[in-house]
Amino acid sequence: MNNPTPTHLKQINTLRSEIQQHNYSYHVLDDPTIADVEYDKLFKQLLELEKQFPDLITPDSPTQRVGATPLDGFIKCAHKEPMLSLENGFSDNELEEFDRRVREGLASTKDVVYAVEPKLDGVAVSLVYESGKLVRAVTRGDGRVGEDVTVGVRTINSVPLNLFGSNHPQLVEIRGEIFFPLKEFNIFNENALANGEKTFANPRNAAAGSLRQLDPKITAKRALKFYFHSLGEWIGEAKPQSHSLLTNLLKEWRIPVCQEGAVVVGVAGCLAYYKKLEAKRDGLPYEIDGVVYKVDNFSDRQKLGFVARAPRWAMAHKYAAREVTTTVSAIDIQVGRTGALTPVARLVPVNVGGVMVTNATLHNFQELARKEVRVGDWVMVRRAGDVIPEVVRIIREKRPRVTKEFIPPTTCPVCDAAVVWPQGEVVARCSGGLSCPAQRLGAIKHFVARRAMDIDGLGDKLVASLLEKGFISSIADLYSLVEKKAELLKMERMGEKSVDNLLAGINASRKRDLSHFLFALGIKEVGETTARNLARHFKTWERLSQADQEALQGAADVGSVVAESLLNFFREPHNQEVISQLQLIEDSNWWQVEESATTHGARPLEGVTVVLTGTLEKLTRQQAKARLESLGAKVSGSVSKRTGLVVAGEKAGSKLKKAQELGVNVLDEAGFIDKYL
Ligand code: IVH
């Protein structure tokens, strides 16, 4: 084996710090500075050098986050200083009482300065850094003794293995919350559902379950995040004098800190913060169950001290619960666009996190059987963000004496066609196809949807009543509505303006191109990206509809399953009939790809380098990035002369300034949404 030269050593160190830098930009700042492939290249270079010189591998190398061997069990570990809990309050009065006690304890008449943060719903852990190195991570446990979860925590990319900068205390215990972001939680559960595997009831359980894996390789796959919220032991170096100063220092050390944190003054400041965050709650990328108010100044905290197991200087102000109990009054079955049968629990109405909920999904019959839900049962219902409410579990102890097991139907509850259970799928389907009114309704709703033909003025309710009144029975019929203005005006709640709107929307949809049209047809397996690839490859409907299996598989990302599904679609007599009706519509643009760079064109940002900066409110950065890439843009982390567009959210800083200096096009979030979403 070769001996490493100083150049090798330098190379390794440079690669490690570069990788750490990119990790930080990506996982903490949410602001990637290089493309994923370039990151992978650096990582591979480091792996190769370490393979060549194994003696140079250090535990804090970015390659060493996932340990090689699973643990046998978790070791108990005592906290030097107990990890306390918080006093909970639910009303403005309780906040006023808390503030009064604080001022009394401080013998102060002045308004108190509070550090305020979201109360994250996750797992509390303490990270111990010795001379800047992460040596231990321990769960809260009972507050005095927790479990050593170092191996799992090391896999969380945003948690630094080494604190950035210098002059770190000899020992510092950084406490915070490990949580499962909502988007990743939903993806995890959707995949689990599709594979018939066990789902997690909520993100908190998902975080705890993922952290308490003996095999760190599993934890590493689970997208966990960490945010600091409090301090444990601190030995050596001068300690900051307040929570807000400490937070600034931790940011310099590159410890992940929640961006929503703030400093406010007095009860009025706390309340304004509580309300502001409540308005944002549904759009936050993680679950919160309230806000935490903490006296900012550390010596004031010391004066106030503790009661029982909670500090006198902090309070959690809770929001309405996202999980509540109610009873099931019926179990109905919904039939979707693709014929999938979804059991839905009708509930005795209940307020969940500020919204009245009357229905909750049971996903599929397998889930319903697993959860053993029956009419009459008490159930725990959960709503998170803008996701459909779901039944989490039954409360068995409260089951009434007489209940009946739910038996899945053998025929479609809407059209009576046979129910089939396709092999390898967990869902049951109606075999009626477009002769089933429910599938027809779903197909038309999908056709007119924003991402499909984008027909303005035609919402779900209107589609349903047009079908019910016999105005339409297929997507082709939508275009004959233009001749039925007088009849449409006779419908309830359809004034001159709404009818004109509807007809203008229908007319305008003739301008959509092949890729939107293909997606709008709702062909099984053909999502937006596949539709775009097919349109780009075949250019015209004619060529596409005449392609055989092999020719179809010539398009990007089209395999045998997609090709098969397309062939089935083209073969089906009802589809052929609808297509030939659509072919009679004048001035329709659907039969070929649109090359022009309009909003509805295929890739208006093809080849344009776009930089995202600042905080986006309506979209996550990942969503914005994915959307830009689907429009053909190359998303980059830094602004230069070659940048074609900068999308600047709130608090955009140096990148926005540079863009302005260079005269690069800038859009704010609203402008971006308006133009490209
Ligand atoms: S401060 C002495 N801040 O809530 C109290 N806790 O109910 C120090 N939690 O176990 C905690 N978000 O894990 C604080 N922004 C936040 C928090 C937070 C969540 C958890 C914490 C604690 C539990 C108490």
* Residue-wise pLDDT tens digits, 617-670: 877 777 788 788 888 888 888 888 778 899 998 888 888 888 888 878 888 888
| pLDDT at 1 (0 to 100) | 59
From atom 2 of ligand 1, which residue's Cα is the shortest distance away? 84
| pLDDT at 386 (0 to 100) | 67
Averaged pLDDT score across all residues of the chain: 91
* Range 165-174 average pLDDT: 96
pLDDT beyond 50 at 599: no
SS3 of residue 378 by DSSP: strand
How far is it, in rounded angstroms, from Cα 521 to Cα 514?
A: 11
Report the CATH superfamily, name and number, of domain 6-64: Helix hairpin bin (1.10.287.610)
Q: Do domains 87-318 and 609-676 have the same CATH topology?
A: no
* Range 590-599 average pLDDT: 67
From atom 3 of ligand 1, which residue's Cα is the shortest distance away? 229
Does the structural domain 433-582 have CATH classification 1.10.8.80? no
Q: Domain spans of the chain?
A: 6-64, 87-318, 323-398, 433-582, 609-676
Model confidence band, residue 576 (pLDDT cutoffs 50, 70, 90): very high
* Range 496-511 average pLDDT: 92
Q: Domain 609-676: which topology?
A: Rossmann fold (3.40.50)
pLDDT beyond 90 at 245: yes
- pLDDT tens column, 316-336: 999 988 899 999 999 999 999
Q: Which of 121, 292, 293, 296 to mutate to test the pocket of ligand 1 (most atoms within 8 A of CB)?
A: 292
Q: Which CATH architecture has domain 323-398?
A: Beta Barrel (2.40)
Q: Which of 229, 255, 301 to mutate to test the pocket of ligand 1 (most atoms within 8 A of CB)?
A: 229
Q: Which CATH architecture has domain 87-318?
A: 2-Layer Sandwich (3.30)
- The pTM of this model reads 0.74
Ligand 1: nearest atom to the Cα of 119:
12
Query: Which residues are the active-site residues?
Result: 119
* Range 417-421 average pLDDT: 96
Please give the distance, rounded to the nearest whole angstrom, from the Cα atom of residue 55 to the centre of ligand 1: 41
From atom 13 of ligand 1, which residue's Cα is the shortest distance away? 124
Whether 214 and 70 have beta carbons less than 8 Å apart is answered as yes
From atom 12 of ligand 1, which residue's Cα is the shortest distance away? 119
Please give the distance, rounded to the nearest whole angstrom, from the Cα atom of residue 125 to the centre of ligand 1: 10
Please give the distance, rounded to the nearest whole angstrom, from the Cα atom of residue 84 to the centre of ligand 1: 8
Please give the distance, rounded to the nearest whole angstrom, from the Cα atom of residue 304 to the centre of ligand 1: 18
pLDDT beyond 60 at 531: yes
* Ligand 1 first shell, C-beta below 6 A: 84-86, 117, 119-120, 124, 140, 177, 229-230, 292, 311, 314, 316
| pLDDT at 543 (0 to 100) | 95
Per-residue buried b or exposed e for 260-296, using 16+ beta carbons within 10 Å of the residue's own CB: bbbebeebebbbebbeebbeebeebbbbbbbbbbbbb
- pLDDT tens column, 65-103: 987 677 888 999 999 999 999 999 999 999 999 999 999
Instruction: From 353, 349, 351, 396, select the one nearest 374 (Cα to Cα).
Output: 396
Question: CB under 8 Å, gap of 24 or more: what pairs does 187-196 form?
Answer: 188/222, 188/223, 193/363, 193/364, 193/367, 193/426, 194/426, 195/426, 196/366, 196/426
Ligand 1: nearest atom to the Cα of 84:
2
pLDDT beyond 80 at 54: yes
| pLDDT at 602 (0 to 100) | 59
Whether 342 and 361 have beta carbons less than 8 Å apart is answered as yes
